[in-house]
Amino acid sequence: MAEPYKIVIGLEVHVQLLTKTKLFCSCPNKFGLPPNSAVCPVCLGLPGSLPVMNRQAFDLALKAALALNCQIASHADQKPGFTKWDRKNYYYPDLPKNYQISQYDLPFSHDGFLDINVHPDPKKGYTAKKVGIIRAHLEEDAGKNIHDESGRGGDTRVDLNRTGTPLLEIVSHPDMNSPEEAIAYLEEIRLMLRELGVSDCEMQEGSLRCDANVNVHIPKADEPKGYAATPLVEIKNLNSFRSVGRAITYEAKRQYEQFQKDPVGYRIDKLLKTTAGWDDPRGRTEVQRHKEEAADYRYFPEPDLVPVIVTKEQLDAVKATMGELPQAQRQRLQTQYGLSPSDAEVFVAKGRKTVAYLEEVAKIVGDGKAAANRISDLVFPALNERKEEIDEFPVTAAAYADFVKQTGSLNKQDRVDVFKIVLEKGVSVEDAKTAAGIKAVDESALRESAKAAIAANAKAVADFKAGKDSAKMAIVGFVMKNNKGAPNDVVRKLVDEELAKV
Amino acid sequence: MSLTEKTAAELLALQAAGKASAVEITDAFLASIADRDQKVQAFMHVEGANAKAVAAVIDAKRKSGAKLGALAGVPIAIKDVLCTKGIPTTCSSKILEGFVPPYDATVVARLKAADAILIGKTNMDEFAMGSSTENSAYKTTRNPWDPERIPGGSSGGSAAAVAACLAPVSLGTDTGGSIRQPASLCGIVGIKPTYGRVSRYGMIAFASSLDQIGPFTHDVYDNALLMEIISGFDPHDATSVNQPVPAYTKTLNDKVEGLRIGVPKEFFGEGLDSEVEAAIRTALKEYEKLGAKLIDVSLPHSSYAVSVYYIVATAEASSNLARFDGMHYGHRTKQKADLIGTYAKSRGEAFGKEVQRRIMLGTYALSSGYKDAYYLKALKVRRLIKNDFDAAFEKCDVIMGPTAPTAAFKKGEKSDNPLAMYLSDIYTISCNLAGIAGLSIPCGFTKTNLPIGLQLLSPPFDEERMLRVARMYEAATDWHTKRPTV
């Protein structure tokens, strides 16, 4: 802990579900349509309209909750699997009913956890961390108020296309203690929900939104708990993972400084939670709202909907469609294919299709680690350059495995050249090699060249024999100079063998 | 007997026999409205030309031999709480002035599919909050039996329209008695179906967990006929129940053997008018003559029903009515104000006093610090009220008593005393809280010639038997044939 305080972070994440239609009506759930074109009496909240639950949304939400290791509607004094809808009452023009259908005291899922890997940067190594999930519940999204930002005080316009979009709210315990942990948590949720087809988690489009609850603990020996805690601040308006990290860092420091100025009054037990907005261009949080008292949403059971009972059969059906989750996949790639933790991280982060590609190459090549290296070397840069997804890539896993086998003896530059030809011309590896001017290796000629090199470099040989390993490289370099394009590993092997004979 | 005094069944028969056309029938009722509604004030909106056009289409269909719906050529009036596509729907509130729904309520769509002719929208207590129709922001409907008196409420316009022969049948809604009480006060038949029997889609909600739509008719047969049309599961209403709809009209005249009638002592206590009580006792004797057995039952928690109702219903209403805020449709204040000010002024200007009172009551009951003591406690007592009925129905097939404690009261008599007004629903409210079915049929008149209604209450989804029980009495009496002189 570089700072003289401990940061405490809890995240509230909202993700829009990838359903065909909205949560309570049959309007399309689609981003980017002309304003107020995907609406009907139900999502407009017209008088007399009634909501009807979208089962697909509920199943997607169940999938997410199971992936978050949550209990499914296991509430005291209720039947197993019993969950219900509630109304959250508040007035705002983007909420046409002036209440949001949400879940209050009996959410469909609760008490889960998510394992995350912090610092997914090989240089820093990994720290495994378990983040507790308080609850995940379903609710309907609101529309959007579009304010006049010209400064001329024009009317605010309301777009209700988003109204009624299914939204999953995931509330974590305050288990994260650094911006990196917060970002790792978000990245893991995004990866998992994308791979499960639950959400596309595009923060720019608002299909993933995050509010951060932040305060700091300042160690103090004379405090009953051994530290003093600052009041909670909920940071909103975070529109990228990067801004989540920056906002947390800024806010923690600000709270610490505020505490230094007012160590008696600026404490969690003296002040209620406040809401702050993150101003990204200015790089600072700005208090939006001082909550004099907790907002009273007057929750009560939604009388227009019936409670939902989740049965074991329904849960089993959802489980059957989940597949392998990222954390399990990382473990398996390490144990089954001998991948390093960082390679496993990289492949899993690219998604299930990339992992499948790797596994197919690994099986054919018979060496998982080599397959991972070769894919990282050539396939990933090519995908980047061509702006393609792995399933659009013209070189199939089987073809790439063949390429790996046939180019094992080439040096790196030659491999790059050959692959480029394979990719651009669509020719066989053999033809690409010829086109690249790479001749088949004549091992006996190379051996002669190695012998000649040993004879011509008596000092290096002597140094090597005296225990200076690096002297060998001079001899290898000598051979390479005289045999352009020769495979480095073959040359090394031959030099080793000939040196042993000296 | 003029066309307008006839029942729907009679109008159907006349058309089938070629003795009247849909156009003639529609013209007759439109003429009746033109002639009498200035006295009754039942209608918010009359569909003149459109109704005639629909009638002409139905006549042409009949002529061509095409299959006709079960209510072909029968005009119907609709309470203005039900959404009608392209026709103004106000809930008799200023806040919905100018609101024209882009869709039909499911019941309206079903009636149209049955070839009924929508003849107009009827007056009501604003947002169905009231028992006299005096809370309408537009007009005060009169009781056709005595213009100095109210027709009951909140569906007073729909009840008065049928009683005054301005429409042969109509639809109302019942949240705490708003069909049965005006049916009783206007001398006609009105049913509050089991919660979930009729789709609420397109009914502008007052209290979602209590609201049901039901028909007003001159007699039980017409009621059974309308129930066949409007009942049944609706994929647009999650609280509608997927249970087959019996052919109510087919079994209507089947005698109910060994009928056991539960008579709760709680329905004959203080506040019950002696003339009303006498009429109910006479009706019960008539049932005994018809072979029924009277059984004493008790509904011990019914004394809490009014209190529970005014917490649960107002709590839900405070949320249901939040959408009327001047932002997206309906009345918006002309005064310049910020967002909160616009909300407050729009709502303050356009909601009537009773609506404001109930929104405040409900908001209070749900507020943190009070929710446990009021709303959540009310839900528990609601469960006890339901349990009372379950226990009573172990011993009897149907419960009977007065629909309302008095016959129609005078205009203005209770408008300054909300509590006295609330008590006029004392016998009807527990039925909604329990989610069971209830019905009011005419069973006599006071000395001053005001109708009295007998209330029947039945277990959930037992409308078929309840209608038969009602029909037994109707067949032995002639109260349902009386028409007022307007």
ipTM summary value: 0.96
Please tell me whether residues A199 and A88 are part of one structural domain.
yes
- What tens digit of pLDDT does each residue of B299-327 get? 999 999 999 999 999 999 999 999 999 99
Letter for the amino acid at A123? K
Residue A432 domain flag: no
Question: Measuring CA to CA, how many Å separate A362 from each of A292, A338, A357, A480?
Answer: 61, 11, 9, 30
> Which entry of B178, B199, B231, B440 is annotated as an active-site residue?
B178
Helix or strand run (H / E) with residue A30: none
Give the residue-averaged pLDDT of A411-436: 86
Nearest chain A Cα distance for residue B64, angstroms: 37
Q: What is the CA radius of gyration of chain A?
A: 30
Beta strands of A220-344 (E only): which ranges?
227-229, 233-238, 274-279, 284-290, 300-301, 308-309
Chain B positions in Cβ-Cβ contact with residue A46 (cut-off 8 Å)? 83, 101-103, 329
Residue A198 domain flag: yes
Question: Measuring CA to CA, how many Å separate B376 from each of A105, A455, B318, B368?
Answer: 13, 98, 16, 11
Which bin fits B326, alpha (ψ -120 to 50), beta or left (φ > 0)?
A: left
The residue of A50, A86, A102, A158 whose CB has the most chain B CBs within 10 angstroms, and thus the best one to mutate to test that interface, is A50
Query: Which residues face A100 on adjacent strands?
Result: A88
Known catalytic residue: B79?
yes
**Residue B206: pLDDT above 60?**
yes
Query: Which residues face A113 on adjacent strands?
Result: A132
CB-CB neighbours of A312 under 10 Å: 10
Domains, chain B: 3-260+396-481 (3.90.1300.10)
Please tell me whether residues A85 and A43 are part of one structural domain.
yes
CB within 8 Å of B341: residues ≥ 6 apart: B335
Q: Around A356, how many Cα atoms within 13 Å sit in the side-chain half-sphere?
A: 10
A96 interface with B at CB cutoff 8 Å: yes
* Pairing assessment for the beta strands A99-102 and A86-89 based on DSSP bridges: antiparallel
Does A317 or B416 have the greater pLDDT score? A317
Q: Are B100 and B145 in contact (CB under 8 A)?
A: no
- What tens digit of pLDDT does each residue of A181-195 get? 999 999 999 999 999
Please tell me whether residues A172 and A285 are part of one structural domain.
no
Q: How far is CA B84 from the centre of its chain?
A: 17
At B93, is the secondary structure helix, strand, or coil?
coil
Q: In this prediction, what percent of chain A has a pLDDT beyond 90?
A: 73
Show the domain range for A467: 443-500
- What tens digit of pLDDT does each residue of B63-112 get? 999 999 999 999 999 999 999 999 999 999 999 999 999 999 999 999 99
Q: B336-345 — which CB contacts under 8 Å span 24+ positions?
A: B339/A93, B340/A91, B343/A91
Helix, strand, coil percent values for chain B (each to nearest 5):
45, 15, 40
Residue A168 DSSP class: E
Question: Measuring CA to CA, how many Å separate A327 from each of A390, B53, B156?
Answer: 21, 69, 66
Residue A278 domain flag: yes
> Which entry of B131, B154, B231, B440 is annotated as an active-site residue?
B154
**Residue B201: pLDDT above 60?**
yes
**Residue A292: pLDDT above 70?**
no
A357, A380, A406 — which closes off a domain?
A406
Residue A411 domain flag: no
**Residue A288: pLDDT above 80?**
no
Number of domains in chain A: 4
- What tens digit of pLDDT does each residue of A442-457 get? 778 888 888 888 888 8
Residue A6 domain flag: no
Q: What is the pLDDT of residue A490?
A: 80
Give the residue-averaged pLDDT of A206-217: 97
Please tell me whether residues A193 and A232 are part of one structural domain.
no
End-to-end CA distance of chain A: 57
CA-nearest of A62, A366, A32, A9 to A178 is: A9
Residue A233 domain flag: yes
**Residue A398: pLDDT above 80?**
yes
Nearest CA in chain A to B96: A47
Residue A394 domain flag: yes
Q: What is the pLDDT of residue A432?
A: 87
CA-nearest of A380, A389, A364, A375 to A339 is: A375
**Residue A121: pLDDT above 70?**
no
For residue A166, what are its two tokens? 């299914």
At A184, is the secondary structure helix, strand, or coil?
helix
- What tens digit of pLDDT does each residue of A4-34 get? 999 999 999 999 999 999 999 999 999 999 9
Q: What is the pLDDT of residue B422?
A: 86
**Residue A291: pLDDT above 60?**
no
Please tell me whether residues A177 and A62 are part of one structural domain.
yes
Q: What is the pLDDT of residue B316?
A: 98
- What tens digit of pLDDT does each residue of A335-389 get? 999 999 889 999 999 999 999 999 999 999 999 999 999 999 999 999 999 999 9
Residue A254: φ, ψ to 5°: -60, -45
Which of A44, A99, A305 is opposite residue B319, by nearest beta carbon? A99
For residue B246, what are its two tokens? 């019996």
Known catalytic residue: B2?
no
Residue B244 DSSP class: P
* Pairing assessment for the beta strands A6-16 and B43-46 based on DSSP bridges: unpaired
Q: What is the pLDDT of residue B1?
A: 66
For residue B459, what are its two tokens? 């277990």
Contact A50 B315 (CB under 8 A): no
How many residues are given for chain A? 502
Rounded Cα distance, B37 and B142, in Å: 10
* Pairing assessment for the beta strands B260-264 and B293-297 based on DSSP bridges: parallel
CB within 8 Å of B252: residues ≥ 6 apart: B220, B221, B224, B467, B468, B471
| A-to-B residue pairs, Cβ atoms closer than 8 angstroms | 100
**Residue B383: pLDDT above 80?**
yes
Nearest chain B Cα distance for residue A306, angstroms: 6
A388, A406, A424 — which closes off a domain?
A406
Confidence of residue A293 (pLDDT cuts 50, 70, 90): low
Please tell me whether residues A256 and A302 are part of one structural domain.
no
Contact A298 B102 (CB under 8 A): no
User: Helices in B196-338 by DSSP H: which ranges?
Assistant: 220-230, 248-251, 274-289, 305-320
Please tell me whether residues A53 and A201 are part of one structural domain.
yes
Contact B204 A48 (CB under 8 A): yes
Helix or strand run (H / E) with residue B440: strand B437-445
| Residue bearing tokens 């702006």 | A387
Q: What is the pLDDT of residue A166?
A: 98
Give the residue-averaged pLDDT of B343-352: 97
Contact B319 A87 (CB under 8 A): yes
Rounded Cα distance, A491 and A443, in Å: 9
Please tell me whether residues A262 and A299 are part of one structural domain.
no
Q: Are A38 and A27 in contact (CB under 8 A)?
A: yes
Known catalytic residue: B178?
yes
Rounded Cα distance, B75 and B26, in Å: 6
Residue B404 DSSP class: S
Q: What is the pLDDT of residue B76?
A: 98
Contact A51 B238 (CB under 8 A): yes
Residue A414 domain flag: no
Please tell me whether residues A182 and A233 are part of one structural domain.
no
Please tell me whether residues A49 and A76 are part of one structural domain.
yes
Confidence of residue A124 (pLDDT cuts 50, 70, 90): low
Which of A44, A89, A304 is opposite residue B238, by nearest beta carbon? A304
Q: What is the pLDDT of residue A441?
A: 67
**Residue A391: pLDDT above 70?**
yes
Q: What is the pLDDT of residue B182?
A: 98
**Residue A127: pLDDT above 90?**
no
Rounded Cα distance, A459 and B3, in Å: 128
| Residue bearing tokens 């390993």 | A469
CB within 8 Å of A262: residues ≥ 6 apart: none
- What tens digit of pLDDT does each residue of B119-158 get? 999 999 999 999 999 999 999 999 999 999 999 999 999 9
Please tell me whether residues A225 and A189 are part of one structural domain.
no
For residue B2, what are its two tokens? 């003029």
Q: What is the pLDDT of residue A440?
A: 67
Give the residue-averaged pLDDT of A386-408: 91
- Whole-number mean pLDDT of chain A? 92
Contact B343 A305 (CB under 8 A): no
The residue of A77, A304, A308 whose CB has the most chain B CBs within 10 angstroms, and thus the best one to mutate to test that interface, is A304
Question: Measuring CA to CA, how many Å separate B236 from each of A14, A84, A362, A484, B245?
Answer: 27, 18, 53, 77, 17
Q: What CATH number has the domain bearing residue A462?
A: 1.10.10
Q: What is the pLDDT of residue B98?
A: 93
- What tens digit of pLDDT does each residue of B150-200 get? 999 999 999 999 999 999 999 999 999 999 999 999 999 999 999 999 999
Does A477 or B136 have the greater pLDDT score? B136
At B205, is the secondary structure helix, strand, or coil?
coil
Three state DSSP letters for A200-253: CCCCCCCCEEEEEEEEEEEECCCCCCCEEECCCEEEEEECCHHHHHHHHHHHHH
Nearest CA in chain B to A96: B323
Q: Are B183 and B159 in contact (CB under 8 A)?
A: yes
Nearest chain A Cα distance for residue B237, angstroms: 6
Please tell me whether residues A120 and A47 are part of one structural domain.
yes
